[in-house]
């Protein structure tokens, strides 16, 4: 067997692999190579506090001013929604829905809101709506301004894009303490976090929209003698409007999801608070009911804003005016009457808890087996590695020199065999074998630096490389190396499972319209249902620990691959499919050799979004007892340590940025053989 | 003599006997301004808040209940956005509380009067699996420990600890006594309750850190482990019943002097709170339960109000 000639890039990876193997072997003798050495840590959190505290103190008067300015209108909207009798509100929303999406949507709106009333969540739902009604215009306004500014001065764009990514990936709990100091206890702190999180989609869509304005329109406006202001407001903005409305839609959804999470502050008695209280009491029925309310509100807001986005500016608003007038009449006629039903809805929701417990009792042996199988088979090897988990207690044999040698030889032989034609395959297998040996968190830290540095350099140039190394150094120096590796390990396992499962579901959905229609509401619900709701049944079936965290993450991160894979496969050009059929491709060949390769950009984007979703769940998953960065964010919160929270959150944002850039830039990352 | 004045006399006597000195009337202060009372996440604290609020209303004040998260609400107290937080468990205040107390932003008004308990609990059915329970010696029995073991903790048994952000002594106490257990942090209160309910339903063994009064104890029958002797009496090595205190914003006494007096004398017993928790668990509303307490316990709260105002 002759080895193929290696390119320079392949040589580099072979060298890195050899160095990593050597480091891993040495780590058994020198433990200093395993975890980041404690001697190199610095009191970074204290330094951050030394900067943050005076800064926040100085900005405090301004923050309080903003609070006062925001809370006035917020209180007014809340009072108005509380005053409006629910039949009037339902009528108004139904009229809006009729205008935006036709009769079907109007019926759905009425039914959905009726269910909210029946379940006994109406006042809380209206409080949440008040929060969204304040946060969305703020986010849309700021986002539009930023987008327009970046369009006018394109030099700002690279910095802005990084800023937007940070805003979307930095966990809100990480900067909660400074927000509270700045704005005081109250809804403003939560609203600020929500606005920060929901600005980015508006900026992105504004940029895309303004960029896409046809030059002909701009030219004809200029020929007609338009001033710069006229050119912008009367030519560019109207023709970018559909894209701007897409931005409004996405901003609304982002805002709603953050308003729920940030309810942890309290002070507004909204539906997010209800979800949190139910989670705290571990009551499935109550939290599922509250979660359902959020799903219904989200779907309604989504369909209504999307309906307006699709129709753009339309005349003929008679229906809306008639509806509004009727609602007003109802409001005056019914004012002050207590029309809300009692707590019958709540009581029937509570019955769910009994059913869940019956199910837990009945299914305990099965789920116990499943939990043990995945813990032994996947989690422990990934966490401790073969070297750490191979003990008579766990796998039934001890780690003797003979077994070590056998493992090394078998890995080497397989790597050579796999790499005989495509060397990168062999190299990738070599890394995998090494990872299984050490476990992800136990991989020697100098090796992590070297690998991340080289991979990022090759994929994204010196900037990305610097970012990755800075993030790793930040984690190491602040003493968070182990939690960071735990986070990466948990996310890696979750992404593997989510992507395989979601991808398979996406393929099925692309093949069958009926399955797709069945899957869509499930995906919608999984994505908008507050993630806290999943935690209760997962906890009861799988107990506190990483495995439950994994389930919770997978349930959320499984949605992007479903959507993107289906979308990618469905948009493969029909003529290419036709050509493959005529060449006699079997269904399997069609999928693997025609459709999936053609859908690669979409699939890659799906993988990217899966990783983002998994990372964003880390902080939520910490509520079931994990040892990763999300947990550090809570510990910092309980200590009122703004600096530590910012650092832990910053490392999560850094991981997200690097993962995003690695997958976004097509380049020669390991494992890519073409 | 009317009943009211008898009560007042009795209360004046009682207060004098307790060392408070003669009851002196305080100025009601800004009765036009609403007193904002924190409603924290757990049922017990919400009951206490509602009862406190009703007593303050009887004293002529306007009150408002503000839902608030445990850690964030200290910022509200420090700023005066929240005026009172009547049930603060001093074992779960992080570093925020001592910081605010030290800065003079909040004032501790002393005990709420709850008889608390803290320790290691197990669902009652476990006494069949580990006959030595409730003695801690049971946790040295290999048969018992084997039933508690999970893949994560092998060969040790699994001990469900408080969430990491609460701070806990369980790991230290396990080490002090060389118990074959591994403490696993639970992440949240909801996680602990879910595990306890599931353990009871599926009859799977569980030992965990817990506290009382808590509404779950009315739902699941548990036993408290008789703890091994402490290595020393420090908070690190020994579990002692936590203090539960009433805390107000530092400007409270000046703004509402009489309300300050009422809050100082306010007490709520564990039995009363547990009965109210049970009523809520059985489907009564929080407000109705608090109204019920006010109606049934005038003899308790009337003296606090009268002593402050007259």
User: In the predicted model, is pLDDT for residue A398 greater than 60?
Assistant: yes
Confidence class for position A587, pLDDT limits 50, 70, 90: confident
Q: What is the pLDDT of residue A178?
A: 87
Over 50: is that where the pLDDT of B4 sits? no
Closest chain B CA to residue A362: B202
A444, two tokens: 């020697």
Question: What SS3 class is residue B235?
Answer: coil
Same fold, A86-214+244-338 and A479-667: yes
A187: nearest CA partner in chain B = B68
- The pLDDT > 90 percentage for chain A reads 22
Q: Is residue B102 part of a domain?
A: yes
Distance from C-alpha of A46 to C-alpha of A176, rounded to nearest angstrom = 17
User: B128 and B92, same structural domain?
Assistant: no
* pLDDT, chain B, mean: 85
Q: What angle do CA A114, A119, A122 make, to 5 degrees?
A: 65
Do B44 and B109 share a structural domain?
Answer: yes
Examine the predicted complex and report whether its ipTM is higher than 0.85. Answer: no
- Output B49 or A103, whichever has higher pLDDT: B49
Chain A residues near residue B191 by CB distance under 8 angstroms: 282, 535, 539, 544, 623-625
Are B94 and A639 in contact (CB < 8 Å)?
yes
Q: Tell which wins on pLDDT, A472 or A438.
A: A472
Any chain A CB within 8 A of the CB of B163? yes
* CA A239 distance to own-chain centroid: 31
Nearest to B151 among A361, A376, A634 (CB): A376
The yes-or-no verdict on residue A667 having pLDDT over 50 is no
Query: Domain segments of chain A: what residues?
Result: 86-214+244-338, 479-667
The arithmetic mean of pLDDT across residues A609-616, rounded, is 88
- If you measure CA to CA, which chain A residue comes closest to B204? A364
* Interface residue A539 vs chain B (CB under 8 A): yes
Q: Is residue B111 part of a domain?
A: yes
CA triple A265-A271-A272, angle to 5 deg: 40
Per the structure, the count of domains in chain B is: 2
Please tell me whether residues B73 and B29 are part of one structural domain.
yes
3 state DSSP class of B87: strand
Is the CB of B102 inside 8 Å of chain A's CB atoms? Answer: no
Q: Which residues of B touch A389 (CB under 8 A)?
A: none
CATH of the domain at B20: 3.40.190.10
Interval B69-82 mean pLDDT: 86
pLDDT at position A570, please? Answer: 87
User: Which among B227, B220, B215, B205 has a CA at the least distance from the CA of B281?
Assistant: B215
User: What digits encode the pLDDT tens for the residues B194-205?
Assistant: 999 999 998 889
Kindly state whether residue B29 falls inside one of the protein's structural domains: yes
8 Å CB contact between B239 and B177: no
Assess whether pLDDT exceeds 50 at residue B21: no
pLDDT surpassing 80 at residue A4: no
Per-residue confidence at A336, pLDDT binned at 50, 70, 90? low
B123 and B183 in a common domain: yes
| B86-144 residue pLDDT tens | 999 887 777 778 888 888 999 999 999 888 888 999 999 999 988 888 898 889 888 88
pLDDT at A396: 65
Element (H, E) at B223: strand B222-224
Q: Is A509:A561 a contact under the CB 8 Å cutoff? A: no
Q: Domain span at residue B138?
A: 117-224
Can you tell me the mean pLDDT for A295-312? 83
A267 contact residues in B (CB cutoff 8 A): 66-68, 76
User: Does position A111 have pLDDT exceeding 50, yes or no?
Assistant: yes
**Mean pLDDT estimate for chain A:** 85
Interchain contact, A282 vs B72, CB within 8 Å: no
Element (H, E) at B248: strand B244-249
Whether B199 and B126 map to the same domain: the answer is yes
pLDDT at A674: 32
pLDDT confidence of residue B295:
94
Task: Identify whether residues B44 and B100 lie together within a single domain.
Answer: yes
The candidate with the shortest Cα–Cα distance to A487, out of A649, A261, A279, A670, is: A649
Q: B184 vs chain A: nearest CA distance in angstroms?
A: 8
The four Cα atoms A256, A260, A262, A265 give a dihedral, to 10 degrees, of: 140
| B136-195 pLDDT per residue, tens | 888 988 888 888 988 778 778 899 998 887 777 888 899 989 999 989 888 888 899 999
According to the per-residue pLDDT averaged within each range, which of A34-38, A183-187, A294-298, A626-630 is highest?
A294-298
B303 confidence band (pLDDT: 50, 70, 90) = very high
CATH of A479-667, one of 3.40.640.10, 3.40.30.10, 1.10.1740.10, 1.10.3720.10: 1.10.3720.10
pLDDT at A671: 37
B201 chain-A contacts, CB cut-off 8 A: 357-358, 360-361, 364, 540
**Residue to test with chain A: of B191, B196, B208, most A Cβ within 10 A:** B191
Say whether pLDDT at B19 is over 70: no
Same domain, residue pair B101 and B188: no
Question: B209 and B262, same structural domain?
Answer: no
Asked whether residue B233 is domain-assigned, the answer is no
Burial class (CB in 10 A: 0-12, 13-18, 19+), A368: middle
Chain B, residues 208-227, CB within 8 A of chain A, namely 215
Tens of pLDDT, residues A339-379: 677 677 777 888 888 888 888 888 888 888 888 888 877 77
Residues in chain B with CB shorter than 8 Å from the CB of A550 are: none
The residue among A494 and A336 whose pLDDT is bigger is A494
Judgement on whether residues B189 and B261 belong to the same structural domain of the protein = no
Written as six digits, the tokens of A320 are 């809306």
Domain at B123, CATH number: 3.40.190.100
Residue B16 has pLDDT above 80, yes or no: no
Phi, psi for residue A439 in degrees, rounded to 5: 80, 145
Rounded Cα distance, A216 and A223, in Å? 10
State whether residue B152 sits within 8 Å of chain A by CB.
yes
The answer, yes or no, to whether residue A314 has pLDDT greater than 70, is no
Q: How confident is the model at residue A267 (pLDDT cuts 50, 70, 90)?
A: confident
The answer to whether position B125 is within a domain reads: yes
Which pLDDT tens digit goes with each residue over A518-553? 998 888 888 888 888 888 888 888 888 888 888 889
Q: Hey, what CATH class is A86-214+244-338 in?
A: mainly alpha
Sequence-ordered list of residues with C-beta below 8 angstroms from that of A54, at least 6 positions apart, any chain: none
Q: How confident is the model at residue A397 (pLDDT cuts 50, 70, 90)?
A: low
The helix/strand/coil state of B120 is: strand
Dihedral in degrees, nearest 10, Cα atoms A500, A504, A509, A512: 180
Residue B232 lies in a domain: no
Please tell me whether residues B213 and B287 are part of one structural domain.
no
β pairing state of B222-224 and B157-161: unpaired
Residue B171 lies in a domain: yes
- CB A558, CB A611: distance < 8 Å: no
pLDDT over 60 at B6, yes or no: no
Pick from A529, A504, A508: nearest CA to A517: A508
- Residue A362: half-sphere exposure toward Cβ, Cα within 13 Å: 6
Query: Which A-chain residues 156-215 have CB contacts (< 8 A) with chain B?
Result: 176, 180-181, 184-186, 189
CA A18, CA A638: separation in Å to the nearest integer?
44
Positive or negative torsion for Cα A162, A168, A174, A178: positive
Is a pLDDT exceeding 80 seen at residue A212? yes
Q: B108 and B123: one domain?
A: no
Q: Are residues B80 and B167 in the same domain?
A: no
């Amino acid at each position: 067997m002759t080895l193929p000639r290696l390119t320079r890039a392949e040589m580099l990876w072979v060298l890195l692999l050899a160095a990593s193997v050597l480091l891993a072997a040495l780590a058994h003798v020198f433990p200093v190579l395993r975890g980041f050495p404690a001697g190199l840590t610095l009191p970074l959190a204290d330094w951050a506090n030394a900067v943050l505290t005076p800064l926040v103190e100085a900005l405090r008067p301004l923050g309080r001013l903003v609070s006062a300015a925001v809370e006035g209108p917020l209180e007014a909207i809340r009072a108005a929604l509380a005053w409006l009798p629910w039949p009037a509100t339902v009528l108004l929303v139904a009229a809006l829905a009729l205008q935006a999406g036709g009769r079907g949507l109007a019926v759905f709106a009425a039914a959905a809101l009726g269910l909210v009333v029946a379940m006994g969540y109406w006042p809380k739902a209206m409080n949440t709506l008040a929060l969204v009604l304040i946060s969305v215009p703020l986010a849309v306004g700021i986002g539009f301004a930023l987008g327009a500014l970046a369009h006018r001065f394109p030099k700002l764009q690279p910095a802005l894009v990084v800023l937007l990514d940070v805003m979307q990936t930095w966990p809100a709990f990480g900067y909660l303490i400074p927000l509270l100091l700045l704005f005081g206890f109250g809804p403003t702190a939560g609203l600020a976090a929500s606005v920060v999180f929901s600005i980015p989609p508006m900026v992105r869509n504004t940029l895309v929209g303004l960029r896409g304005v046809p030059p002909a329109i701009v030219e004809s406006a200029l020929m007609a003698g338009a001033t710069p202001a006229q050119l912008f407001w009367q030519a560019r903005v109207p023709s970018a409007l559909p894209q701007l409305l897409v931005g409004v839609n996405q901003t609304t959804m982002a805002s709603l999801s953050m308003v729920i999470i940030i309810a942890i502050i309290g002070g507004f008695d909204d539906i997010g608070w209800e979800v949190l209280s139910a989670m705290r009491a571990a009551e499935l029925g109550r939290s599922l009911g509250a979660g359902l309310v959020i799903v219904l509100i989200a779907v309604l807001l989504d369909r209504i804003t999307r309906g307006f986005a699709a129709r753009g500016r339309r005349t003929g608003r008679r229906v809306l005016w008639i509806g509004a007038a009727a609602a007003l009449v109802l409001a005056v006629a019914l004012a002050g009457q207590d029309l809300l039903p009692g707590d019958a809805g709540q009581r029937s929701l509570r019955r769910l808890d009994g059913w869940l417990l019956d199910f837990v009792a009945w299914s305990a042996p099965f789920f116990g087996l499943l939990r043990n199988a995945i813990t032994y088979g996947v989690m422990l090897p990934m966490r401790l590695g073969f070297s750490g988990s191979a003990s008579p207690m766990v796998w039934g044999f001890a780690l003797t020199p003979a077994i070590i040698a056998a493992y090394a030889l078998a890995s080497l032989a397989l790597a050579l065999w796999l790499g005989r034609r495509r060397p990168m395959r062999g190299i990738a297998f070599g890394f995998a074998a090494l990872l299984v040996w050490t476990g992800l968190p136990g991989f020697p830290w100098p090796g992590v630096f070297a690998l991340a540095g080289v991979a990022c350099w090759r994929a994204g140039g010196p900037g990305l490389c610097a970012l990755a190394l800075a993030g790793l150094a930040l984690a190491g120096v602040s003493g968070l190396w182990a939690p960071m590796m735990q986070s990466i390990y948990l996310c890696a396992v979750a992404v593997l499972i989510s992507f395989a499962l979601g991808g398979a579901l996406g393929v099925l959905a692309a093949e069958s319209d009926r399955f797709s229609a069945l899957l869509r509401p499930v995906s919608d619900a999984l994505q908008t249902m507050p993630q806290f709701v999943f935690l209760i049944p997962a906890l009861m079936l799988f107990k506190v620990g990483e495995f439950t965290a994994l389930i919770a993450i997978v349930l959320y991160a499984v949605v992007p691959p479903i959507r993107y894979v289906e979308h990618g496969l469905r948009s493969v050009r029909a003529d290419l499919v036709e050509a493959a059929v005529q060449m006699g491709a079997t269904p399997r060949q069609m999928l693997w050799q025609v459709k999936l390769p053609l859908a690669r950009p979409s699939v890659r984007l799906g993988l990217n979004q899966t990783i983002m979703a998994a990372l964003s769940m880390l902080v939520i998953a910490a509520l079931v007892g994990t040892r990763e960065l999300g947990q550090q964010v809570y510990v910092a919160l309980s200590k009122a340590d703004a600096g530590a929270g910012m650092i832990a959150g910053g490392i999560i944002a850094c991981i997200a940025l690097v993962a995003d850039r690695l997958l976004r830039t097509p380049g020669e990352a390991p494992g890519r053989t073409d | 003599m009317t009943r009211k004045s008898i009560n007042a006399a009795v209360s004046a006597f009682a207060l004098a006997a307790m060392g408070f000195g003669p009851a002196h009337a305080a100025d009601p202060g800004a009765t036009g301004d609403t007193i904002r009372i924190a409603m924290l996440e757990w049922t017990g604290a919400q009951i206490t808040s509602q009862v406190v609020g009703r007593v303050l209303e009887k004293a002529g004040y306007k009150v408002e209940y503000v839902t608030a998260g445990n850690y964030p609400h200290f910022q509200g107290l420090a700023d005066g956005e929240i005026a009172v937080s009547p049930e603060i468990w001093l074992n779960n205040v992080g570093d925020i509380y001592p910081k605010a107390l030290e800065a003079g932003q909040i004032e501790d008004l002393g005990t709420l009067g709850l008889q608390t308990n803290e320790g290691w609990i197990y669902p009652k059915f476990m006494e069949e699996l580990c006959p030595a329970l409730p003695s801690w010696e049971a946790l040295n029995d290999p048969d018992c420990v084997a039933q508690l073991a999970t893949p994560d903790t092998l060969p040790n048994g699994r001990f469900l600890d408080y969430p990491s952000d609460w701070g806990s002594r369980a790991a230290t106490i396990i080490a002090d006594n060389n118990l074959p257990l591994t403490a696993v942090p639970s992440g949240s209160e909801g996680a602990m309750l879910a595990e306890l309910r599931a353990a009871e339903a599926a009859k799977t063994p569980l030992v965990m850190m817990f506290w009382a009064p808590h509404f779950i104890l009315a739902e699941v029958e548990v036993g408290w482990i008789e703890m091994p002797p402490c290595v020393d009496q420090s908070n690190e090595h020994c579990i002692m019943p936590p203090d539960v205190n009433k805390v107000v914003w530092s400007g409270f006494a000046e703004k509402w002097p009489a309300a300050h007096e009422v809050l100082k004398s306010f007490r709520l017993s564990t039995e009363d709170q547990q009965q109210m928790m049970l009523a809520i668990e059985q489907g009564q509303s929080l407000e109705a339960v608090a109204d019920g307490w006010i109606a049934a316990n005038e003899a308790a709260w009337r003296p606090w109000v009268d002593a402050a105002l007259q």
